Amino acid sequence: MFQSKLFTKTRREAPKDEVAKNADLLIRAGYIHKEMAGSYSYLPLGKRVLENIERIVRQEMDAIGGQEIRMATLHPSEPWKQTGAWDKVDVVFKINSRTEKEYTVGQSEEEIVTPIAKEYVQSYKDLPVAIYQIGQKYRDELRAKSGIMRGREFTMKDMYSFHETQEDFDLFYATAKDAYLRVYERCGLVAKATEASGGSFTEKLSYEFMVLTDAGEDDILYCDSCSYCANVEITKEAEGDGCTRCPKGKLARAKASEVGNIFDLGTKYPRDFGFTYMNKEGNASTPIMGCFGIGITRLMGVAAEALADEKGIVWPESIAPFRVHILNLSVGDEEADKAARALYDELTAKGVAVLCDDRADVRAGEKFADSDLIGIPHRVVVSKKTISEGKFEYKKRTAGDARMLSTVELLALFN
């Protein structure tokens, strides 16, 4: 893509009434547009990041047998009344229609997916099954001050699984936990699975997946030697204590952001909807259900905020909107334009997504500042000077110094 054609522009001044660092960066770089607190539109750059995260999540959910569907967002109130969530869950939006019917918009989808599964699962032979979607969710938050990290509208991957036995559920729970850790790793983030209480969903223990970042709103204790990690809210342990799970570990305290969760829902929702199946003995039995969430837009906000430096965003390669940012500092110079275009075409032919800053009348300093703010992992400068040397000036977003590379050397970085 050519930056002269990109309809969004960067801006230097911080947006008014935006206290969240992730939203501040993403708005200034032109990724998102704020509609109101907790509600944002995703612009071309932002949409590309979301699609990259969604692709990784989709691949990992498909790999553990998840089947993707798309559920309705607008729901009748009846199933929500049937499960008690209509009255008990305070973040449920309640919409009154002119027909005097009441509706809601999904803040989670147990009320929709359970009746769907009930219709198709009749026998133990139909189990286990894991159904997921990637879609919009709505929460009636009193305050929404965390940018895209906690919105009134957000994108989520939510998966629901149904099982014959607790053992089968536990097995899938462990498989899903590993898949989640792979998702975060592929997104360039270090996440830990902590045990937490189940909140409004369930009385049982659940997993929360936490990315260590000073921007986080949770406090966790983690072992410096094994994978043990817990939310301080539910543990009696303290910083400096010895780890109870391994011989030599010590517990450290850190700020973290939640980027996913897994709940054992037991049989609550199947019971609410009278969902039974015929077990091996020929009797009606109630399946055990699990819920597995990953906040997609939240993950984008955490990555933007946790990995940023003083100059702007630093995207991990896997979710960056483009992998290479070509800056043509001599737009209008025939040789420079030709060299920039040729490199653009060669990288594109290799399947590398490239943003080329071909804007005329924009000073070099501004192009460098924009490039740092936007945060594309690899920067390549083309100018009269680099052409006179027959090379390109290459720098990684995370590196301090640039180096001069020939076309062949440059292309070899993307084999």
- The footprint of Zn ion (CB under 5 A) covers 223, 225-226, 228, 243, 245-246, 249
Kindly tell me which of 256 and 354 has the beta carbon lying closer to Zn ion.
256
**Rounded CA separation 56/54 (Å):** 5
Which is closer to Zn ion, CB of 243 or CB of 376?
243
- Residue 181 or 339 with smaller CB distance to Zn ion: 181
Minimum CB separation of residue 177 from Zn ion in Å reads 17
Nearest distance, CB of residue 251 and Zn ion, angstroms: 8
- Return the number of the residue (184 or 228) whose C-beta is nearest Zn ion: 228
Q: How many whole angstroms separate alpha carbon 58 and alpha carbon 150?
A: 22
When the beta carbons of 183 and 243 are compared against Zn ion, the nearer one is: 243
d(CA 55, CA 39): 23
**Closest distance of CB 230 from Zn ion, Å:** 11
Indicate the angle between helix axes 44-63 and 166-186, nearest 10 degrees.
140
Q: How far is the CB of 229 from Zn ion (least distance, A)?
A: 9
Q: Write down the least CB distance from residue 71 to Zn ion, Å.
A: 40
Shortest reach from residue 255's CB to Zn ion, in Å: 20
Closer to Zn ion by CB, 225 or 407: give it. 225
If the CB atoms of residues 245 and 280 are measured against Zn ion, the closer one turns out to be 245
To the nearest whole angstrom, how small is the minimum distance from the Cβ of residue 225 to Zn ion?
5
Task: Specify which residues 285 forms β-bridges with.
Answer: 277
- Nearer of residues 41 and 227 to Zn ion, judged by Cβ: 227
The distance of closest approach from Cβ of residue 300 to Zn ion in the complex, given in angstroms and rounded to an integer, is: 31
* Residue 62 neighbours by CB under 8 Å, 6+ apart: 68
Measured from the CB atom, the residue of 150 and 192 that comes closer to Zn ion is: 192
User: Of 294, 284, 266, which is closest to residue 134 (Cα–Cα)?
Assistant: 294
Distance between the two ends of the chain, CA-based, in angstroms? 21
Contact 70, 184 (CB under 8 A): no
Contact between residue 29 and residue 312 where contact means Cβ atoms under 8 Å apart: yes
Shortest distance (Å) from residue 227 CB to Zn ion:
8
- State the minimum distance, in angstroms, from the CB of residue 222 to Zn ion: 9
Nearest CA to 186 among 294, 103, 330, 346?
Answer: 294
Residue number with CB closer to Zn ion (238 or 246): 246
